[in-house]
Structure 1
Amino acid sequence: MRVRFSRGVITIVVVVVVLAVGVSVGLYHLLKRAPRLAVQPEAYCTAVTPDGTIGLDIEQARISATIAAVAARRRLPERAVVIAYATALQESKLSNLDYGDRDSVGVFQQRESQGWGRKKQLMDPVYATNKFFAALVKVKNYRKLPLAEAAQAVQRSAGGYAYAPHEGDAKILAAAFTGRVPKAVHCWYPSAKTPPPQPKTAEARKQLARALGSTAITSKKRGWLVAAWSVAHAEQYAISRVGYSGVTWSNDLELEGWQAGGKAGDRRVELS
């Protein structure tokens, strides 16, 4: 038996459907035009190179930048940086931990009882990285050894095989933070304070010098290392813009990566 609806019922159904579609479309466009009304994400960083992309939290990015800066100060090859990153990823996930197995602490989980230094020193990523590299360069032919063997020769851990799986990610981080790949590091952090804090550029440069030594830009690669370090530490020093070599990073959630523009040339990294 067929069920027939009157014109009035059909009209009401059509009106309801049209209204529902209209409300949905209107709500979509409202949200699209007002993205700031949505809950903002937590601070984050990315390292993007031809070999891949890695997402980092702010602490991981700062430590990655510090490791690259210390390596540059010591004039070490990128292979040393890769080994350091793989080791730190396994030991602490690139975090400055104040705990670990027995008395292990810090980025590389170094132990005071094994002569690496005092706990307070080991909790300083610059100091800990210098100690790691000082031990690494004493490993014969470390550049040619499989990564796990080189890392294990320094760490002497219970499971030296565990460093190898991190080699791919370590290579991406090394390419980005050493400055070999330009415009590779991008970060964002929430800055809802009114008025916004004044950038602490002098303090930022002072802390960069602790890891890097001279902050003079002597090559484009070094310039991009300084730029990457500055972006990774932008939240810490209230920096909202970093300019280098004709492009600018801005702390803007709606922008992805570095944008064309800016006064800074190849001999200066501009912070503001």
Structure 2
Amino acid sequence: MDAPNGSSTVGGVSETHQKAPRPRRRRPYRLAAALLVLLGLAGYYLVQNESTGGDGAPHCTVVAGGGAGAGGSYSMNLEQARYAATIAAVGTAKKVPERGVTIALATAMQESALRNLDHGDRDSLGLFQQRPSQDWGTPAQIMDPVYSAGIFYDHLLDEVPDYADLPLTVAAQKVQRSGFPDAYAKHEPDATLLAAAFTGSAPGTLSCSGPLPRETGDATRVKAELVKVFGTALAPKAGPPVSRVAAQQPPADDSEVTLSVATGKNGQGPPDQRRGWELANWAVAHAADLGIQRVSYDSKAWVAGKNKGHWIDKAPGKSGDGDGRNAGPDDVRIFVAPLNR
């Protein structure tokens, strides 16, 4: 028979049953998992830090420094930088002044935050949230950043011929017909800054930190992208070139694309340095996706993973440090093969 308080009687003698304390279970797997997470984070940080020259996660920054810059700075991820460079390049290919490029950039900043979205309000798509049902093009066309930027400029030039004299938000609204017409205004300072950098009127104001290309780039692909964005004026052609793409005989360990920005007959005139900086900045913004390792222009060089993504002063040829990859004001040189220095 059971006695009270958890005791029992055996042979008339009460003995109390006491449960032995359960030993504490060690859970080393939790410590191991936590350690793996910490090691993973440390490895990620190390890779990011090394690939960007010690400047954190890959990103691009434009700072005020001349031209039409509105002051301050603007930072963006690499995807946003690529699309900003594309929007500006399509504008200059269509001979759109910098003010028009600013309007386009501010519009895309508001509509998509400079992202090529495959969704939106109703059937809106792309950088500018254009609608196939409103005759902006097919979904495939609108999702092509070069097409979508081009059709935006076509509407701006055709429907708002006095856009340069209008407030930015008014000009953008005449094209977009947005339900929030005043929203474009807040992006004007940043869009002005980006337009100055990506049209070349504010040289040296763009820096892009990493990541290092994981494999050798393809010079043919770089040339094809340049021609697609900037137009056939960049293609090799007979006669005096204003700007051309030429595959030059590279050193044994390099693959190079050279863009001449010399003007005049047979390229003997002064260089178009604004054009040169536009092309150089476009290449820097596309370095990660095109496998570009280095861009040289106007006695400066941008090298992936070096100098925190900033341009380095390197005079061309023997007049500088003897680095044969340097360039003066006449040529933009783009290297897509891995470099040893």
Match of 1:164 in 2: 185
What letter matches 1:45 in structure 2? C
Determine if contact 2:61/2:73 at 8 Å carries over to the other structure: yes
What letter matches 1:107 in structure 2? L
Aligned equivalents of 1:144 and 1:220: distance in 2? Answer: 27
What letter matches 2:208 in structure 1? C
Residue 75 of structure 2 aligns to a residue whose secondary structure is strand
Is 1:47 paired with 2:68?
no
Is 1:257 paired with 2:321?
no
Residue 255 of structure 1 aligns to a residue whose secondary structure is helix
1:153 pairs with one of 174, 179, 187? 174
Match of 2:87 in 1: 67
Match of 1:104 in 2: 124
Residue 63 of structure 2 aligns to a residue whose secondary structure is strand
Q: Aligned pair in 2 of structure 1 residues 88, 141: CA closer, same or farther (>3 Å)?
A: same
What letter matches 1:102 in structure 2? R
Residue 137 of structure 1 aligns to a residue whose secondary structure is helix
Aligned equivalents of 1:236 and 1:207: distance in 2? Answer: 11
Aligned equivalents of 1:73 and 1:38: distance in 2? Answer: 37
- Report Cα offsets for 1:53-85 as digits up to 9, x if no partner: 111111110111111111111111111001001
2:217 pairs with one of 176, 196, 199? 199
1:244 pairs with one of 297, 303, 313? 297
Unpaired stretches in structure 1, ≥5 consecutive residues: 1-35
Unpaired stretches in structure 2, ≥5 consecutive residues: 1-44, 50-55, 66-70, 235-242, 244-260, 264-271, 317-325, 336-341
Q: TM-score, normalised by structure 1?
A: 0.82
Match of 1:133 in 2: 153
How far 1:205 moved relative to its partner? 2.0
Is 1:190 paired with 2:211?
yes
How far 1:254 moved relative to its partner? 4.0
How far 1:253 moved relative to its partner? 4.8
Match of 1:232 in 2: 285
Kindly indicate which of the two structures has a greater share of residues assigned to helix.
1
Aligned equivalents of 1:37 and 1:232: distance in 2? Answer: 23
- What is the root-mean-square deviation of aligned Cα atoms in Å? 1.6
How far 1:123 moved relative to its partner? 0.4
Aligned equivalents of 1:109 and 1:248: distance in 2? Answer: 36
Aligned equivalents of 2:206 and 2:222: distance in 1? Answer: 17
How far 1:190 moved relative to its partner? 2.7
How far 1:189 moved relative to its partner? 2.1
Aligned equivalents of 2:303 and 2:285: distance in 1? Answer: 12
2:142 pairs with one of 98, 106, 122? 122
- Report Cα offsets for 1:76-105 as digits up to 9, x if no partner: 111100100110000000110000000000
How far 1:39 moved relative to its partner? 5.5
